Amino acid sequence: MGGYIPESGTGTVVRAARAGAGRYPPLASLVVSTIAAFSAVIVIAVLHSAYDEAVSRTRTLLGHNLEPTPWHPFPHDKGRPPPRAALRCAPLLSCLPPLSHPHPSPPNASRSRRTKQCPAYFAAIHRDLAPWRRHGHGGITRELLDSARSRASMRVTITGNGRRLHVDLYYACVQSRALFTVWSLLQLMRRYPGRVPDVDLMFDCMDRPAINRTTGGPNPPLPPPLFRYCTTKDHLDIPFPDWSFWGWPETHINPWAKEFRAIKQGSRRVKWGDRVPLAFWKGNPDVASPLRLALLACNDTNLWHAQIMRQNWEEEAKSGYRHSALSTQCAHRYKVYAEGFAWSVSLKYILACGSMALVIDPRYEDFFSRGLEAKVNHWPVRADVGMCESIRDAVEWGNAHPEEAELVGRRGQRLMQELGMDAVYDYMLHLLTEYAKLLDFVPSPPDTAQEACVGSVLCLADEGQRRFLEMSKAEPATGEPCSLPPPPAAADG
């Protein structure tokens, strides 16, 4: 195609120069392009470095770079967290104010109501901590605490007058237990800002206790202090409220406050006299539990008056948990509680129904199960030979004495009514306060620990986890915690 050609020679030269410029860019353009390309490479490298740094910090809290707890093996995903999540959370990981600071208490909130006595089972706090309080023992030294590391999945330190929390993870916990346990402590700090003591503790987030009780000799060596969700009469692990009080995303169970309300409302849909006059259990028997496997043999409504159902959580997840809502499982007069691999979080949901709970000889104790009283708020069932007969006898007694059986169920539900989140946080506060008195050193986080705060945990959680975390956020207390009686020795003067 022809173009305009000026008649002057100068125009011809200019046009030729412009044509050449199109074929060969000037040096300045090359320099700019090179700088831009080099800058892009630098930016990409910086982003990649930031991502790797974020991942190296976030995956520890999430457990992505850790092996499963070796004494409790389980399937574990060791993949990297999504890049978007890691980069998004990088600025929050320092937990700078205001992220690291709990909300202040309302003015004079601590005097807004009278202090009440703690539930009776709070007295177990003194019993659980007694090995480190006995005369002649020097309490908990840093060396003694370090000796618990071989059985711990994480170390938690709270410093700054209860305003900063650091976590050092050693092994990956199953599902989101570690994340929600850390969250529970952060919520305690929000609940009672400035009142949570500085502590340094070891925690194992798996099921079975590990610290055996030693009975030999007049002065047995001090055991390593280790917190977990349950204990037994033969162990010295220190019970602590389990993660499910703040929600269990993997099974679609809401935080305890919301779940209890739903279960109680569901229990009102069917009057006691109209409930199915059978014992009912629905759960997962495939958890290395001989007890639950034996329970399957009691599934005979005619012979044993029991309906035993297998819960398949994988199938439930595929169906959107339509058939596992706990609020719809209060249609029977009697509900069976059977321990699994160890204790089971299902106890509180069973008691919440208001049905008479048939508790098969429990070996494990969590912090509130010390409030169980046989034939008062539950009915005991034998775990040895004759379990099915024991279930049958309990059902026949209850059907012959419906008023008494209903009263036992109501007392169990009342125990759960009293186990509100107020009581859970008060138990945590008293337990940590009494534990802190036994430390003979000033708590400080190890160099390998990372700080956690509400903002960083919410950012690290996936969408499903975040929904449960948001639902379980605590608000500052409007009154004093319940009053914990002193240890028996102090009470006796």
Tell me the per-residue pLDDT of 213-222, one tens digit each, with 9 for 90 and over.
Answer: 976 566 778 9
In whole angstroms, give the CA distance from residue 258 to residue 50: 39
Fold of 254-418: Rossmann fold (3.40.50)
Chain centroid to Cα 391, Å, comes to 32
pTM: 0.83
pLDDT for 401-447, tens place per residue? 999 999 999 999 999 999 999 999 999 999 999 999 999 999 999 99
Phi/psi of residue 432, each to 5°? -70, -35
485 closest CA partner among 125, 134, 131: 125
Q: Starting at the earlier edge strand, list the strands of the sheet with 238-239.
A: 238-239, 227-228, 199-203, 154-159, 164-169, 450-452
Longest Cα–Cα distance of the chain, Å, equals 120
**Tens digit of pLDDT at every position of the chain (493 positions):** 444 333 344 444 444 444 444 555 566 666 666 666 666 656 555 545 555 555 555 545 566 556 666 655 555 555 555 555 555 555 555 676 655 555 555 545 444 556 899 999 999 999 999 999 875 556 899 999 999 999 999 999 999 999 999 999 888 888 889 999 999 999 999 999 999 999 999 999 989 999 999 765 667 789 999 999 999 999 999 999 999 999 999 889 999 999 999 999 999 999 999 999 999 999 888 888 899 999 999 999 999 999 999 877 677 777 777 777 899 999 999 999 999 999 999 999 999 999 999 999 999 999 999 999 999 999 999 998 799 999 999 999 999 999 999 999 999 999 999 999 999 999 999 999 999 999 999 999 999 898 999 988 988 888 999 999 999 999 999 999 999 988 876 443 3
- The pLDDT value recorded for residue 14 is 42
Peptide bond between residue 98 and the one before it cis (omega within 30 degrees of 0)? yes
Q: What is residue 71's predicted lDDT score, i.e. its pLDDT?
A: 56
> Can you read off the two tokens belonging to residue 429?
């506060």
Q: How far apart are CA 415 and CA 393, in angstroms?
A: 25
Tokens standing for residue 183: 């969250």
DSSP codes of every residue in 155-168? EEEEETTTTEEEEE
Q: Is 229 left (phi over 0), alpha (psi -120 to 50) or beta?
A: alpha
Q: Where in the chain is the domain with CATH 3.40.50?
A: 254-418
Q: Which ranges of 63-119 does DSSP label H, i.e. alpha helix?
A: 83-89
Looking at residue 17, what is its pLDDT? Answer: 44
